[in-house]
Amino acid sequence: MTRSEITPSPAVTVPRSEAEIAARMKALEALMIEKGIMTTEAVDRLADIYENEVGPQLGAAVVAKAWTDPEFKARLLANATEACAEMGIGGLQGEDMVAVENTDTVHNVIVCTLCSCYPWPVLGLPPNWYKQPAYRSRIVREPRTMLREEFGHDVPDSMEVRVWDSSAELRYMVLPQRPANTEGKSAAELAELVTRDAMIGVAPVRA
């Protein structure tokens, strides 16, 4: 391999299309298997776990429990990792999770400005837009405008918007507000209302 072949071009360091990202992933996977760092079975199992077992339905159950059990909610806000562990939820990329609560006066939204850090055990793998530079830079610069223009989520001017920058050390999730007129609902029914986007903070929970 010549030197010019191993010098990354901008197109290589910043993949532009889905096809390019997929090709890079395949190449990385092949290399890790070839070097004995990972096995095909491990890769398949990991993909299966995050496609079928771990996902926002787990975060939704956490949110619904917090809405219906004030003591659990207090524990969740004090230490999200420990509170989630009570429900058997935890693991990779969730070693230090923090739940931030939406209130009548504060709306929270999460981002990873550096890359794509995200609380996997409660939300699964991040959506593509969460990983894109457009979201990562603009949500910090003008969160209110971006929420309105890109997500159709109007946060009233009277409310403060807080943007939380996740990292490899701390990963945030939003505890959304429980919608009105849901008094009679069970935790399981409430969980069905809670979406991934609501726990990222780009959408409200609707009854």
Which of these is catalytic: 115, 137, 167, 186?
115
- Comparison of 43 and 170: residue with beta carbon closer to Fe ion: 170
The region of 55-63, 115-123, 139-147, 189-197 touching Fe ion under the rule CB under 5 A is: 115-123
117 belongs to the binding site for Fe ion (CB under 5 A): yes
Q: What are phi and psi of 35, to 5 degrees?
A: -85, 0
The question of whether 17 is a catalytic residue gets the answer no
Query: Residue 65: which of 189, 184, 202, 167 has the closest Cα?
Result: 189
- Comparison of 67 and 118: residue with beta carbon closer to Fe ion: 118
- Comparison of 67 and 130: residue with beta carbon closer to Fe ion: 130
Q: CB–CB of 102/202 below 8 Å?
A: no
Choice from 42, 92, 115, 134 touching Fe ion (CB under 5 A): 115
Distance CA 156, CA 193 (A): 22
Q: CB–CB of 173/94 below 8 Å?
A: no
Q: Which residue matches tokens 């030197």?
A: 3
Q: How far is CA 5 from the centre of its chain?
A: 36
Task: For the chain, give the longest Cα–Cα distance.
Answer: 68
**Least gap, CB of 118 to Fe ion (angstroms):** 7
Residues of this chain, 63-102, that bind Fe ion according to CB under 5 A? none
Number of residues that bind Fe ion (CB under 5 A): 5
**Least gap, CB of 32 to Fe ion (angstroms):** 20
The question of whether 84 is a catalytic residue gets the answer no
Catalytic positions are: 112, 115-117
Residue ranges that bind Fe ion, judged by CB under 5 A: 112, 114-117
